[in-house]
């Protein structure tokens, strides 16, 4: 029996979309300096494409295509983490404020790696 205080389990589709929205909000909060905007646009592009690749994977016509789309999503996640690390290490943003976002990226990476492993074992 479900109660109104229970939190629904988020699907991977929901999590990748929420991740993209968090990236959008981070980008809009960045300073308007050239460095912040250049790094931010790279992060915005890669961070918002993860969910799109996941959705494309779920429409794949073959197992090989599914694996390929998921692996591209993984590449985009790794790239997003790189841009966030640069923003932190360049002292453009406070790293403490981004730990939850980086943790979510790590969790999404682990989930997508697991998806690829399962698909390869089919």
Tracing tokens 């794949």 back to the chain, one arrives at 60
Mention every residue, 6+ apart, whose C-beta is less than 8 A from residue 11. Answer: none
**Per-residue confidence at 8, pLDDT binned at 50, 70, 90?**
low
Say whether pTM exceeds 0.75: yes
Taking the C-alpha atoms of residue 15 and residue 50, their distance in angstroms, rounded to an integer, is 10
Over the stretch 59-101, which tens digit does the pLDDT of each residue have? 999 999 999 999 999 999 999 999 999 999 999 999 999 999 9
Question: Residue 63 corresponds to which tokens in the numbers above?
Answer: 């197992």
- pLDDT exceeds 80 at position 1: no
Mean pLDDT for the chain overall: 93
CA angle 7, 9, 12 (to 5 degrees): 145
All structural domains of the chain, each given as residue ranges with its CATH number in brackets, are: 12-120 (1.20.1440.60)
């Amino acid at each position: 029996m479900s109660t109104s205080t229970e939190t629904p389990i988020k699907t991977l589709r929901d999590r990748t979309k929420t991740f993209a929205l968090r990236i959008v909000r981070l980008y809009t909060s960045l300073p308007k300096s050239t460095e912040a905007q250049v790094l931010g646009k790279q992060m915005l592009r890669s961070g918002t494409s993860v969910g799109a690749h996941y959705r494309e994977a779920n429409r794949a016509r073959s197992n090989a295509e599914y694996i390929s789309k998921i692996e591209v999503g993984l590449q985009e996640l790794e790239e997003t983490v790189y841009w966030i690390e640069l923003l932190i290490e360049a002292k453009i943003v406070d790293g403490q404020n981004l730990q939850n976002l980086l943790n979510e990226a790590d969790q999404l990476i682990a989930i997508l790696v697991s998806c690829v492993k399962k698909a390869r074992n089919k």
